[in-house]
A and B are shown apart, each in its own frame.
Chain A
Amino acid sequence: MELIVDGQPVPARPSDTVGAALLRTGRLHWRRDLAGSPRGMFCGIGTCFDCTLTVDGNPGVRACLTRVHPGMSVETSDGSR
């Protein structure tokens, strides 16, 4: 299936999490911390909140916990949480 990440199609397997789908494309980071430094996934189990992004308009969603669905809209952010 495909996700739309920042307006671009990204392939995903049906059982992927959003984080796994991004990592699978070789992308290791999709967020900026308070200092503007890149962040991606760290703990992988939903405890650290490094991997958050906006899914279907909802901000602060943990990419490592969220299963994909076809046509899911994902926005990555710079500077916000």
Chain B
Amino acid sequence: MTGNSYDVAVIGAGPAGLSAARTAAAAGARTICVDRYAAPGGQYYRQPADGTGGTATQRHGRALADAAWAAGAEYLPSTNVWSVSGGLRLEIIGDGRRGVIDCRAIVVASGAHERVAPFPGWTLPGVFTAGGLQALLKSCDLAVGPRVVLAGTGPLLPVVAASLARHGVRVSAVLEANRLLRRALRRPLPTLITLSGQPGRLAEAARASVSLGVRRSRLRTGWAVVAAHGQAQVQAATIARLDARSRPIPGTERMIECDAIGIHFGLVPATDLYQLLGAALEYRPDLGGQVPVLSATMQTSVPGVFGAGDGTGVGGAQLATLQGEIAGQAAAACAGGTGFPVGALTGRKRRALANAARFRGLYGELYGLPAGLDELIDASTLICRCENVSRADIDQALARGARTAASVKSLSRCGMGSCQGAMCGPVLASLVAAHPGEGRDQRGPLTARPPLQPIPIASLLGEAP
């Protein structure tokens, strides 16, 4: 079992993690960056298959990584943190072998994952998350197809659709559940002002529109996939128009043949590591759900534990980079026994943080969760993919008096499987909150317990894998 001491350990190698590793190392801290993936970049800066070339964005990500290693940070890829013991000791596992990392300060930058919304047939092979389709494209040059339907809500939908279309996939439909124009026009002037501060995002949206437009794959607003059909894999999707409360309008259903469906309903910050470290969380639906409580210098409620990036609240790559810079500096100062006051933040950083907060507000207004789609979840539809727990099972637990997501989990096994509630957690919370009865509006996360991912017992027993 390998063990090592560092000043700063950064978990995650996306924009936030790489920035934190760079500034921590540059400040003189002995820094290590632990990454679940085989190559740095996280999701946003996912690198091309052979590690060279790619888009300007991918090259920028490579430059971020190179800068972190040049500053002296070490990189530990294909390694997962599965537990925390004794204060700031990280229990890690990679290639079936255990190790520990002792450190004086931690920056948690493990990002967010996609929020999913169940519908009949959603567990059929061929149903992916939109981000998953994007990951396959970026990392392995693989375009799933030939006919793909994308559905859900969020700016990622047209971006992924455009990427697929450029790779020759026939994007049969891009269905955005929210009526974006209507929502944008509710407060036109603030919307315009906020968008004017986001030139990068506007450019990306424009590029996606052109790519889709020339291939006649129009984005439809106020539509959703309401069912997936197929024997052993997806062969068709039923789509329908949604009313003002995002419930499917009877009579508007039509069936489209397709080979794959990509779904996306925003991002959910990953809080399991914060929980193990004892950091206080708060419920912020505008940021994607449960997030750590952070100071202006990215410190959590636990001394020595800092956070940065989408895992602290969904905000995109630029904000993540900025937060990472701050967290890395603060963590290095903490490891060195000195403080890092708010006053150390430059005016540029403060303005950038304020800009990001405005955009988050707009994002929430445009891409709110289409709650009416919960109606699609019929009794036999699975909520928990890992343990095969259906809506009927959840309803039964609620009928038996369960009032919290935790107690529904205890009764039904929802959230007890390999993914530990990453997929079903938000859906479960929504169903519990919506159930009539007192005291059911419980938004707390499902309790995280080690191991955070399944690990081989052989590794715990000290046997060779």
Q: Is the CB of A49 within 8 A of B125?
A: no
Q: Is the CB of B388 within 8 A of A43?
A: no
CB of A80 closer than 8 Å to a CB of B: no
Q: Is the CB of A44 within 8 A of B422?
A: no
User: Which of A20, A29, A34, A49 is within 8 Å of B140, CB to CB?
Assistant: A20
Residues of chain B within 8 A of A39, CB atoms compared:
123, 125, 385
Known: A37-B123, A46-B36, A52-B418. A23 touches B144 (CB 8 A): yes
Q: Is the CB of B419 within 8 A of A28?
A: no
CB of B9 closer than 8 Å to a CB of A: no
Q: Is the CB of B419 within 8 A of A48?
A: yes
Residues of chain B within 8 A of A52, CB atoms compared:
418
Q: Considering the complex, which residues of chain A in the window 46-64 have a beta carbon less than 8 Å from any beta carbon of chain B?
A: 46-50, 52, 58, 60, 64
Residues of chain B within 8 A of A38, CB atoms compared:
124-125, 232-233
CB of A6 closer than 8 Å to a CB of B: no
Known: A33-B388, A38-B125. A45 touches B233 (CB 8 A): no
Residues of chain B within 8 A of A50, CB atoms compared:
385
Known: A23-B142, A33-B123. A44 touches B417 (CB 8 A): no
CB of A15 closer than 8 Å to a CB of B: yes
CB of B454 closer than 8 Å to a CB of A: yes
Residues of chain B within 8 A of A16, CB atoms compared:
49, 140, 142
Q: Is the CB of B125 within 8 A of A45?
A: no
Q: Is the CB of B132 within 8 A of A42?
A: yes
Q: Considering the complex, which residues of chain B in the window 62-117 have a beta carbon less than 8 Å from any beta carbon of chain A?
A: 78, 96, 113-114
Q: How far, in angstroms, from A65 to B234 measured CA to CA in the complex?
A: 23
Residues of chain B within 8 A of A58, CB atoms compared:
96, 456, 465
Q: Is the CB of B385 within 8 A of A42?
A: yes
Q: Is the CB of A29 within 8 A of B233?
A: yes
Q: Is the CB of A13 within 8 A of B140?
A: yes
Q: Is the CB of B136 within 8 A of A20?
A: yes
Residues of chain A within 8 A of B131, CB atoms compared:
43-45
CB of B13 closer than 8 Å to a CB of A: no
Known: A45-B131, A45-B135, A67-B38. A28 touches B49 (CB 8 A): no
Known: A43-B131, A44-B133. A24 touches B423 (CB 8 A): no
CB of A17 closer than 8 Å to a CB of B: yes
Residues of chain B within 8 A of A43, CB atoms compared:
113-114, 128-129, 131-132, 423
Known: A23-B142, A38-B233, A44-B132. A65 touches B37 (CB 8 A): yes
Q: Is the CB of B38 within 8 A of A60?
A: no
Residues of chain A within 8 A of B78, CB atoms compared:
65
Q: Is the CB of A13 within 8 A of B49?
A: yes
CB of B386 closer than 8 Å to a CB of A: yes
User: Which of B51, B125, B270 is within 8 Å of A29, CB to CB?
Assistant: B125
Determine the residue in chain B with the shortest Cβ distance to A20.
Answer: B140
Determine the residue in chain A with the shortest Cβ distance to B260.
Answer: A28
User: Which of A29, A44, A49, A64 is within 8 Å of B419, CB to CB?
Assistant: A49
Question: Can you name 6 A-B pairs with beta carbons within 8 Å?
Answer: A15-B49, A28-B234, A44-B132, A48-B385, A49-B386, A65-B37
Residues of B near any A CB (own CB < 8 A): 36-38, 43, 49-51, 78, 96, 113-114, 123-129, 131-136, 139-142, 144, 232-234, 260, 270, 385-388, 417-419, 422-423, 454, 456, 465
Given contacts A15-B51, A42-B128, A65-B38, 11 further A-B contacts (CB under 8 A): A15-B140, A17-B139, A23-B142, A28-B233, A38-B124, A42-B127, A43-B129, A44-B132, A44-B135, A45-B135, A46-B36
